[in-house]
Amino acid sequence: ARMIKMQHPDYEMYKTGAHGKNDVGCADCHMPYVREGGVKYSSHNVGNPLDHMENTCLNCHSEDEKTLRDTLKRKLERKDELNIAASEVIAKAHLEAGKAWEAGATEEEMKDILRDIRHAQWRWDFSIASHGSFFHAPEETLRILGTAINKGQDARVKLRTVLAKYNAADYVAPDFSTKEKAQALIGLPMDKLVDEKMQFLNTLRQEWIAEQTKKGLYDPPTREGMEFKTSYQK
């Protein structure tokens, strides 16, 4: 099913939440005022408001820090729960649609199903591509994820009819419960990709760093203490 990609709609999500509706600006939380030597200025150490709650959240909220952190933890857990549910429903709908095409389904038979899948995925992406959505607009995030699940399930119900028509009613989507299983399912050549990545990191990246250091554009001390993380092992 052809998809529409949502690219980090953080501002749009923020505007639907309590902070956005009360004209709390980005800088109020991410660049709070600090005092140093009797001088008050806006911090340019842009970061997580929870790292300095005494200068951010507690300027407006009357709750104590622990209560606020516990509340945010529950909001994140709820978002994660619906995110996982929506992801599973939509992924299964994609796989079942693939089976329907394979079995001989026509464009006309798949038209409404593809629209449901696209609408489900767009909603899921809109709510999750905004990484801070559970904080900026928790109610809207849950609402959108709920509609994503509904749209995905609508597609799957319709797909049962199509699959039955083409003698594939017993089709069960394969297991994609881990990253490794999902990669194997789509035929991702991980060994080749990791080898290529390591070659880049050990050659061209090092050349770029050396070149930019000579030009004064790369300052090694600014990277001290930073951990170079990867999503793979080699």
Work out the pLDDT band at 151, boundaries 50, 70, 90.
very high
Query: For the segment 3-37, what is each residue's pLDDT rounded down to a tens digit?
Result: 888 888 999 999 999 999 999 999 999 999 888 88
Q: What is the pLDDT of residue 37?
A: 85
Question: What pTM does this model have?
Answer: 0.83
Query: For the segment 64-119, what is each residue's pLDDT rounded down to a tens digit?
Result: 999 999 999 999 999 999 999 999 999 999 999 999 999 999 999 999 999 999 99
Answer for the pair 17, 138: CB distance below 8 angstroms, yes or no: yes
Work out the pLDDT band at 56, boundaries 50, 70, 90.
very high
Where does the chain have alpha helices with state H? 10-16, 18-21, 26-30, 65-103, 107-128, 133-136, 138-165, 179-185, 190-202, 204-214
